[in-house]
Amino acid sequence: MCRLVRAGLVVALLGAGIAHAEDPAGAQPASADPPRNGPIRPSLLGGHTPDAGETVLAAALGWPELSVQLDTGVAPGVGLGLRVGALVGSPMMGLVAGAGGGLAVPMRVRLFEEGRAALALRLTPGVSGGEARLFGESAPDATSRGLGLGARLDAGLALGLSLSEGTAFSLWTTAGGGVSWTEGDRAHGVGSFAFGLGLETWVSADTMLFAQLEGGAGIREERASPAYYPQQEFVRLALGLGHAL
């Protein structure tokens, strides 16, 4: 009888130990998944769009524009921005210098995210104005200093790769089209394609540094002398500072 009792106690203790291992007493329920960004900070350039309610204010120096941009998450996976800039070069194509201004509304819609990679659709409508030389006029007289205007829509894909908790590398490609007009001439259709890369790093909880480089070529209508947009290649460079609001 004593042996049977002892055997029963052993079986009961083993069963209790197994049950404790499978469902330990006092175990806390699993926590919910972290938000979309988790340790990945929002990006101004790549596929990691701001989460809804996240906002970044940024300023950049570069060519052909000195700009201020506000970028905010308006819905899960959707970022909407507003950029105002002072032009020192053509916003359309070429490397000609001049004075002007521009307004753009950059938008990104996240299409895919896996691990540290995210892909987004980029759409950027914009308008600009300034000296006619920035918008294709190449006449050597006062005509090139007249008024010029441009409007365009760029669309493309941006890939963001998070290298660490606060650093991301971005690649993108875009193509666009629009119109360009100069004083004394009719409006002309223009287009372009470009490839770019950028690097962003958060140096503190609310401050980021970023750099971007983009290059490509434009497409324009042919015009008899003087040539319209005599130079079609372009380069765009920006170095900036961002602050999370």
Q: What is the DSSP letter of 39?
A: T
- Over residues 187-239, the pLDDT tens digits come to 999 999 999 999 999 999 999 999 999 999 999 988 767 778 989 999 999 99
Q: What is the mean pLDDT of the chain?
A: 86
Residue 27 clears pLDDT 70, i.e. is over it:
no
Calpha distance 191→236 (Å, rounded) = 16
Across the range 169-195, mean pLDDT stands at 95
CA separation for the pair 79, 198 (Å, rounded): 18
- What whole-number distance in Å separates Cα of residue 58 and Cα of residue 75? 20
**Could you tell me the two tokens for 177?**
């089209």
pLDDT at residue 7 above 90? no
Mean pLDDT of 86-107: 96
* pLDDT attached to residue 36: 43
Give yes or no for residue 45 having a pLDDT over 70.
yes
Distance CA 8, CA 236 (A): 80
Domain count, the chain: 1
pLDDT reported for residue 2: 44
pLDDT the model gives residue 145: 73
Higher pLDDT, 53 or 121: 121
What number is the average pLDDT over the span 19-30? 44
What's residue 143's pLDDT?
A: 64
Taking 90 as the threshold, does the pLDDT of residue 28 lie above it? no
Structural domain contains residue 160: yes
Contact 5, 13 (CB under 8 A): no
CA separation for the pair 119, 171 (Å, rounded): 10
In a domain, 27, yes or no: no
Domain of residue 63: give its range.
41-244
| Within-domain flag for 190 | yes
In a domain, 57, yes or no: yes
Copy the structure tokens of residue 58: 């940024």
Domain-located, residue 8:
no
Residue 31 lies in a domain: no
Please choose, from the candidates 77, 163, 52, 78, the residue with its C-alpha nearest in 3D space to the C-alpha of residue 115. 163
Give the pLDDT of residue 12.
Answer: 47
Q: Which residue type is seen at 218? A: G
Q: What is the pLDDT of residue 142?
A: 59
Nearest CA to 80 out of 54, 61, 107 is that of 107
Q: Beta-strand (E) ranges in the chain?
A: 55-63, 65-75, 78-89, 97-104, 107-114, 117-131, 147-164, 167-182, 188-202, 207-220, 233-244
> Over pLDDT 70: what percentage of the chain?
82
**SS3 letters for 87-133?**
EEECCCCCCCEEEEEEEECCEEEEEEEECCEEEEEEEEEEEEEEEHH
Tell whether 231 is covered by a domain: yes
Residue 222 domain-assigned (yes or no): yes
pLDDT at residue number 63: 98
State the pLDDT at residue 224.
67
Give pLDDT, residue 9: 43
Band of residue 26 on the pLDDT scale cut at 50, 70, 90: very low
The answer to whether residue 172 scores a pLDDT higher than 80 is yes
Residue bearing tokens 């010029």: 148
Digit-coded pLDDT (tens) for 139-150? 776 566 789 999
CATH number of residue 161's parent domain: 2.40.128.90
C-alpha radius of gyration, the chain, whole number: 28
Res. 130: pLDDT tops 90? yes
Q: Given this model, what pLDDT does residue 11 score?
A: 44
Q: Coil, helix or strand for 20?
A: helix
Q: pLDDT-derived band of residue 39, with 50, 70 and 90 as boundaries?
A: low
